Structure 1
Amino acid sequence: MTSLNGARERRVRTGGVELCVAELGDPRQPTVVLVHGYPDSKEVWSEVAERLAGPGGLHVVLYDVRGHGRSTAPRPLRGGFTLEKLTDDFLAVADAVSPDRPVHLVGHDWGSVQAWEFVTIERTRGRIASFTSMSGPSLDHFGHWINSRLKRPTPRRVGQLLGQGAKSWYVYLLHTPVLPELAWRGPLGRSWPKILQRVEKVPGGGYPTPSLPRDAAHGAWLYRDNVRTRLRSPRTDAHAHAPVQLITPVEDAFLSERLYDDLERWVPRLVRRTLPAKHWIPRTRPDQLAAWITDFVTATESGRPRPAATGKYADRFAGQLVLVTGAGSGIGRATTFAFAEAGARVVAVDRDAEAAARTAELARPLGASAAWAEAVDVSDGQAMEKLAEKVATEYGVVDVLVNNAGIGLSGSFFDHTVEDWKNVLDVNLWGVIHGCRLFGRQMAERGQGGHVVNVASAAAYQPSRALPAYSTSKAAVLMLSECLRAELAGQGIGVTAVCPGFVDTGITSTARFTGVDAEEERRRRRRAARLYGLRGYPPEKVADAILRAVVRDEAMVPVTPEARLFHAMSRFTPRALRRLARVRPRL
């Protein structure tokens, strides 16, 4: 039996071996063939496969490469793992599972290395509709990459060669006789799962399978049968005959990003994506990979390939899952749009269901991989728990959380009722606490990092006689952010407090003014809105500051000029700031 839930299993005979093939999803839908790497088996794809084949999804096919998992090994091993024979295996699987339609190919690590062969040779032309590559270059392209740097050895190019040479230390070891087999069948095979969990943050859950020692010992011949031959004499006709999506994990310990610098030379239809992750992304980033693969397959099938996001920071956020509270207007809506333009998958959360839906609707054409709307009051702890559970189940673990929802309250301390205090603290502080507690915990448990942005205010460090409750709530958010940043730093989760100043948003139209009658409150709202409008600082600039802060992992960001000024005064001239706090606002 296979560990893939609901998978149908079959055997395919080819070239003296028997391949174990698993299928999920509706065979009437486009077929995606997932090819695993070294020292894995097809189970490395289980998380991705189940997402791809979900309700209304794709026809997903996985197979154990010869000598791995439940497929048999060639005899003798030497010469039994050449790219030519691996190509025979792929064509046999493709003919068995999709005889009448080309398949969409996805490869990771050595699965990607061999898939580059499939997509660049003439005999597979017409059998591959698209190819998604991750963490595995074409050996031919790699050979030309090396040769071009040896022929023109500039300091930068020599540095690239030395850098990749250091990353490829394991390749040299795998070429040594007997030693790799002994290591994998001995201590390395036993300790490998713990190494993956500790170094790569790969969760367990039935991976790797018990066949790992044997798989790894057999898989050493993938390198021995192919690497030296191809790097010495790379093909000159290794041009892809199908569109290619390249996914590059930027923290990959084994492959340099520079390997793909010249890829447009070989791939006329190329979509590039980067991912802030390490090597084993099929296990650590299944949600994101499934979203990208589905998007690429759907676009290819429609004949209208969707270009990659071109917005600012698209190389950082494309495909990431971002949740923004208070997204129905103002800074929240602008932030949702900014992440959408960067190609993120966005969840727009607001207590106003219609406003949240409108934000999601407007975000989709901006470049968002996907956009959803959720109506939730962030002050309601139980509702937030249900939201966190739903998001994790349906969309995945959030990569970036923006706790933006907030309300305003102005007036004398003695005019603030207990209910006034409760309302402000429930939204401005408890809303942030709920978000950090629920979504931050999911990030921590996933073990792959993330980022939390808490929108505070310049009022967090600029006291004012007119804003006792509001300033208190925002000062608490600022300190909470600092405490969380210290606690989560060791888990790769950044925390940023963003402190806008006077920004032209709709908060003035909903802010409450205590100690006055209804007519006076309406007058003060109109005057405040007019003053903020005259200030004219757009929420889009705050959104840009938020994205920039996540990229730079900044602890605290005063945004507007007055916010930066007040922050400087709080540090260097606090007495002057206290005197300024005594001024009665003219509203």
Structure 2
Amino acid sequence: MELRDARERWVRTGGIELCVAELGDPAQPTIVLVHGYPDSKEVWSEVAGRLAERWHVVLYDVRGHGRSTAPKPLRGGFTLEKLTDDFLAVADAVSPDRPVHVVGHDWGSVQSWEFATVERTQGRIASFTSMSGPSLDHFGHWIKRRMSHPDPRGVGQLLGQGAKSWYVYALHTPALPEMAWRGALGRQWPRILQRMEKVPADGYPTASLPRDASHGAWLYRDNIRSRLRRPRPDAYAHVPVQLITPTGDTFLSPSLYDELDTWAPRLVRRTLAAKHWVPRTRPDQLASWIGGFAGRVESGSLESGGLESGGLESGGFESGGANGPGGSDGSLGSAVPSAAASGAHADRFGGQLVLVTGAASGIGRATALAFAEAGARVIAVDRDAEGVARTAEAALRTGAPAAWGEVVDVGDEQAMEKLGEKVAAEHGVVDVLVNNAGIGLSGAFLDTTSEDWRKVLDVNLWGVIHGCRIFGRQMAERGQGGHIVNVASAAAYQPSRVLPAYSTSKAAVLMLSECLRAELAEKSMGVSAICPGFVNTGITGSAHFAGVDEAEESRLQKRTARLYSLRNYPAEKVAQAILGAVVHNKAVVPVTPEARASRLLSLVSPRLLRGLARVKPPL
């Protein structure tokens, strides 16, 4: 997106002119986006366009960048004090009677920490969202603590961040950075961003890059050494702060924020599986979190909700389905008030869109509720209309900011195509897809009919293929990453004389997952195969047994269900394994002890595993 529709104005301050762009309704609360180095305000264009639907969004070129003029002389013209003057001038121009919500990335975050902690900005800022840029004062204290009381962990953190900060030393050298940016580095920078950061080739960065980067070197020279040597002792944030930490940031270690709770009493932490330039690579997620956080501050729920230091919140989405309860096209929207997200990984999944198939019961239901507890928006999919409606309602009570139920047979390609179109149109692109739907089938190969094979493969394999193809393509085309989880089974690598069809379907799911993982890695997408063993779910009581009459099948179903209940491994543990697989981008996750044991045997002693497969189980 470009800022063609933005309204521009010029703000004069301290002998320079700042180019300010505005989007959205000026009557709405204002969000000010502050760019970093070596960027201009256009780095925010994708995020700004999304936020402008509900907010008054303001972007400005920092002095010496983009279309803003540069101070003369450059030396001494980029101090944090002067940058704060610029911010206050912009805030007074665009929102004179109301405090603004500030969002900063990279050096935009560094200077915004100054705005959020100095006394003269009190009353002008409503909230601050920080990403990929620490307070120099906090950084200075962080260094001093580790140098004054050295221990192996602290020394390792110092050395690690020191290595990541190599560019800071380079920018302090006279003239060389300017020569590099106005020469080969400036010409190659767009390609570097595309190759190293996966930044889309969509006209960014702008043509002003060489000049912006040359002027911006003085941000480092005017501030770094002085602040790190003499950090302010009173650099406490006087506003609520949301910290978004990209886990793959090339330039900053997450340990920099270890003691941030001390400096920001009202702190919300979030993590994002991405690299440094998240305004360009993850605009959907950033807009969701920024808008949600600002919305909670505006409503007062952040202040009144008892959020403690270092806490987590759900992302600020409205509860309720797009079509309301009993919505059209098989949608079963839920509108039960949601609780604040407090579950494991709420910093990672808050506000994300997660679709889970087979969600009416068992592992699917437990997974939907685990993501709900982590603050995700949940789409529960199943053939069981009543069951999926109950899951959506429970998800809202558990902590999901929104939840919907969709009645779909995953084995029906056309129905899945329609679901994909509907989800994209009404809710956006899915961030996490969990292909969990499955059916059980037991019986010898020679007793298994062609119809039996078709039924199990339609759900267990083709259902996964449809989900991966439809929703995986949407993720890939969006270009902002994502994760696919395919629930396979320990039967995928553990042969059995009584599960030929089921084991074949799950083995295919496992290999499909491995192939997709290799292909989609270049799209910054993860793929995980989850392999549970004996888990106490409803699939055992409804499994089909080939080659027996109805009475015998009923007996075998009851017997199998009783055995699994005696094992009593809960579906909730599988759900937590699924969330962990996404967070750590694991390839194959055996869940139960027997699943892990058989996985080990399949790798180190497959012959023994084949021998065990020949044993006929008691009936």
Task: Give yes or no for TM over 0.5.
Answer: yes
Unpaired runs of at least 5, structure 2? 313-340
1:122 to 115, 119, 123: 119
Q: Does 1:436 align with 2:435?
A: no
Q: Is the 8 A contact 1:325 1:332 kept in 2?
A: yes
Rounded Cα–Cα distance in structure 1 between residues aligned with 2:514 and 2:56? 47
Match of 2:378, SS?
strand
Q: Which residue of 2 aligns with 1:547?
A: 579
Q: Which residue of 1 aligns with 2:132?
A: 135
Q: Which residue of 2 aligns with 1:162?
A: 159
Match of 2:276, SS?
coil
**Change over 3 Å in CA distance of 1:365–1:58 after alignment to 2:** farther
Rounded Cα–Cα distance in structure 1 between residues aligned with 2:108 and 2:599? 53
Rounded Cα–Cα distance in structure 1 between residues aligned with 2:610 and 2:36? 63
Map 1:200-211 → 2, pairs under 5 A? 200-211=197-208
Q: Which residue of 2 aligns with 1:560?
A: 592
Rounded Cα–Cα distance in structure 2 between residues aligned with 1:390 and 1:363? 20
Q: What per-residue deviation string (whole Å, max 9, x for no partner) do you get for residues 114-135 of structure 1? A: 1111111111101111101111
Q: Is the 8 A contact 1:287 1:395 kept in 2?
A: no
Match of 2:301, SS?
coil
Question: Residue type matched to 1:477 in 2?
Answer: V
Q: What per-residue deviation string (whole Å, max 9, x for no partner) do you get for residues 332-390 of structure 1? A: 11112222333444332333455334323322343446544444332233343444455
Deviation at 1:394, TM superposition (A): 5.4
Q: Which residue of 1 aligns with 2:301?
A: 304
Q: Which residue of 1 aligns with 2:570?
A: 538
Q: What per-residue deviation string (whole Å, max 9, x for no partner) do you get for residues 298-356 of structure 1? A: 22122221640543344554454433221222101111222233344433233345533
Q: Which residue of 2 aligns with 1:424?
A: 456
Q: Which residue of 1 aligns with 2:609?
A: 574
Q: Which residue of 1 aligns with 2:97?
A: 100
**Change over 3 Å in CA distance of 1:397–1:213 after alignment to 2:** farther
Deviation at 1:281, TM superposition (A): 1.0
Q: Is the 8 A contact 2:495 2:610 kept in 1?
A: no
Q: What per-residue deviation string (whole Å, max 9, x for no partner) do you get for residues 450-473 of structure 1? A: 443211223334444544432321
Match of 2:158, SS?
helix
**Change over 3 Å in CA distance of 1:187–1:389 after alignment to 2:** farther
Q: Which residue of 2 aligns with 1:478?
A: 510
Unpaired runs of at least 5, structure 1? none
1:240 to 237, 240, 249: 237
Q: Is the 8 A contact 2:359 2:388 kept in 1?
A: yes
Q: Which residue of 2 aligns with 1:336?
A: 368
Rounded Cα–Cα distance in structure 2 between residues aligned with 1:157 and 1:500? 39
Q: Does 1:506 align with 2:503?
A: no
Deviation at 1:30, TM superposition (A): 2.2
Q: How many residues align?
A: 581
Q: What per-residue deviation string (whole Å, max 9, x for no partner) do you get for residues 126-173 of structure 1? A: 111110111111122222222333333334333333322222222222
Q: Is the 8 A contact 1:569 1:576 kept in 2?
A: no
Q: Is the 8 A contact 2:18 2:69 kept in 1?
A: yes
Aligned-residue RMSD, C-alpha? 2.8
Q: Is the 8 A contact 1:120 1:241 kept in 2?
A: yes
Rounded Cα–Cα distance in structure 1 between residues aligned with 2:384 and 2:9? 50
Q: Does 1:61 align with 2:63?
A: no
| Identical amino acids, percent of aligned pairs | 76
Rounded Cα–Cα distance in structure 2 between residues aligned with 1:64 and 1:220? 15
**Change over 3 Å in CA distance of 1:166–1:303 after alignment to 2:** same
1:171 to 165, 168, 171: 168
Rounded Cα–Cα distance in structure 2 between residues aligned with 1:111 and 1:25? 22
Q: Does 1:287 align with 2:287?
A: no
Rounded Cα–Cα distance in structure 2 between residues aligned with 1:201 and 1:377? 36
Q: What per-residue deviation string (whole Å, max 9, x for no partner) do you get for residues 58-95 of structure 1? A: 22221221222222323333333222222222112212
Question: Residue type matched to 1:470 in 2?
Answer: Y
Deviation at 1:490, TM superposition (A): 5.8
Q: What per-residue deviation string (whole Å, max 9, x for no partner) do you get for residues 515-568 of structure 1? A: 556566555544444443343222112112223334454443333344345545
Q: Is the 8 A contact 2:24 2:57 kept in 1?
A: yes
Q: Which residue of 1 aligns with 2:24?
A: 25
Rounded Cα–Cα distance in structure 2 between residues aligned with 1:259 and 1:576? 53
Deviation at 1:398, TM superposition (A): 4.0
Q: Which residue of 2 aligns with 1:347?
A: 379
**Change over 3 Å in CA distance of 1:387–1:7 after alignment to 2:** farther
Q: Which residue of 2 aligns with 1:198?
A: 195
Map 1:395-434 → 2, pairs under 5 A? 395=427, 397-411=429-443, 413=445, 416-434=448-466
Rounded Cα–Cα distance in structure 1 between residues aligned with 2:40 and 2:406? 38
Rounded Cα–Cα distance in structure 2 between residues aligned with 1:214 and 1:43? 15
Match of 1:298, SS?
helix
Q: What per-residue deviation string (whole Å, max 9, x for no partner) do you get for residues 43-63 of structure 1? A: 111121222223xx2222212
Deviation at 1:112, TM superposition (A): 0.6
Rounded Cα–Cα distance in structure 2 between residues aligned with 1:498 and 1:479? 12
Moved more, 353-362 or 182-191: 353-362
Moved more, 270-279 or 408-417: 408-417
Match of 1:12, SS?
strand
Q: Is the 8 A contact 1:5 1:50 kept in 2?
A: no
Match of 1:573, SS?
helix
